Amino acid sequence: MEVKGISIKNCKDWVLASHSEADWEALVDALPEDSRKELTDYSVFSGKWYPVTVFEDVNKYIIDRWGKGDHRIIFRIAREGAVKNLKSVYRIFMKVASPAYVLKKTAVMYRQFYNYGEMKVIQDTVGDVIIELHDVPDQRIIFERISGYMEGVLLATKATDPKAVFEYLPDERKTIFNIVYK
């Protein structure tokens, strides 16, 4: 199971913007050896595929160090990052796109960032979208990040008061994301 480097780079960018280069280096130095070896010279390559454990280890460090054990820091980082990126690079498109359309595209784009699992929209009504992610292990850190990203995506559109929550169903190996907005 692998994740695209851009996801890890977003973590690095947050550390650099919110803390310092020395903090990024301390984070990498504190990772388990297998993950640390993947980030040679503290570098992250956006287009490279990395073992998902590297992404999880980076996020666990962020949770422990700056979130004081609260996983919601990952949600907030993803939400803020989505708003920042989408309102700058895609600002014109985001002004005219409907929130439901953007969420449908988010489900399609999942495979550009993760090489496992399948994400699809199963309910799409105005103000309430349900998305399922199938064939995935229990990776709550990643589910927090996806939920935060979805809220951030909606904030970059004309939607207001977005809320994204998830539930993992271990027997079915799937996660259900419920996204509501006005």
Tell me the domain boundaries of the chain. Answer: 2-65, 97-180
Average pLDDT over residues 14-32: 97
78 Cβ contact list (under 8 Å, min separation 6): 10, 144, 145, 146, 147, 148, 149, 152
What does the pLDDT read at residue 115?
94
Average pLDDT, the chain: 91
Considering only CA atoms, which of 176, 159, 180 is closest in space to residue 167?
A: 176
CA distance 94 to 152: 11
Q: Point out the least confidently predicted range of 48-62, 95-109, 140-154.
A: 95-109
Average pLDDT over residues 91-119: 82
- 48: Cα separation from own chain's centroid: 17
Residue 123 pLDDT greater than 70, yes or no: yes
Residue 89 pLDDT greater than 70, yes or no: no
CA distance 94 to 64: 34
Residue 138 pLDDT greater than 80, yes or no: yes
Average pLDDT over residues 10-34: 97
Q: What angle do CA 105, 108, 110 make, to 5 degrees?
A: 110
What does the pLDDT read at residue 109?
83
| pLDDT tier for residue 156 given thresholds of 50, 70 and 90 | confident
Q: What angle do CA 135, 141, 142 make, to 5 degrees?
A: 45
Average pLDDT over residues 13-33: 97
> pTM higher than 0.75 for the full model?
yes
CB 73, CB 14: distance < 8 Å = no
What does the pLDDT read at residue 104?
83
CATH code for 97-180?
3.30.780
